[in-house]
Amino acid sequence: MNAQTLVIETTSTEETRELGARLAPLLTPGDVLALVGDLGSGKTTFTQGLARALGVTSPVTSPTFVLINRYRGAGGISLHHADCYRLNHARAEMLDAGLADLFSGDDIVLVEWADRLAGLLPEDAIWIAFTYLADDRRRIAISGGRRAAAVAGELTARGGAP
């Protein structure tokens, strides 16, 4: 790991969910998570674990057609889960959907297929890249600016992988 990247491999769906759950308590109001990776690489599975750890009790599914799902967690925390996969003009369509307004709030915003939003995401977004390796194995890399480095450092201090 360099100062701004933490790479973790998970070997099961549950480990990928658990990594999301381990990351959740390290997040602060206003954090933006930018998830990237191919179909089936674990983005939604990770999000389910993160949401569960934030106290979300409703089912978490990818908002492919509705664009943004909002989930209420414990203690008034809200998680906004956006998905840019099916968008032809992701930047314009997400602006129309109000995604940029969410970046200035106190909620946690998670964007799947975030690489389609060049220039729209906040500079200090926490980038999480998912790579399918084989079967249920995934490589998950956390990188970005100061917030990503802080989160990666704390995750490492707490034992890193699930």
By DSSP bridging, strand 108-112 and strand 32-37 are: parallel
Q: What pLDDT is stored for residue 99 in this prediction?
A: 62
Residue type, 3: A
Q: What pLDDT is stored for residue 117 in this prediction?
A: 80
Per-residue pLDDT, averaged over 115-119, amounts to 79
Q: What pLDDT is stored for residue 47 in this prediction?
A: 96
Domains and CATH numbers, the chain: 6-157 (3.40.50.300)
pTM of the model: 0.87
Q: What pLDDT is stored for residue 76 in this prediction?
A: 86
Q: Does residue 42 register a pLDDT over 60?
A: yes
Alpha-carbon distance of 128 to 35, in angstroms, equals: 5
Assign 1 a pLDDT band (cuts: 50, 70, 90): very low
| 76 token code pair | 């008034």
Q: Which of 129, 123, 159, 150 is nearest to 3 (CA)?
A: 150
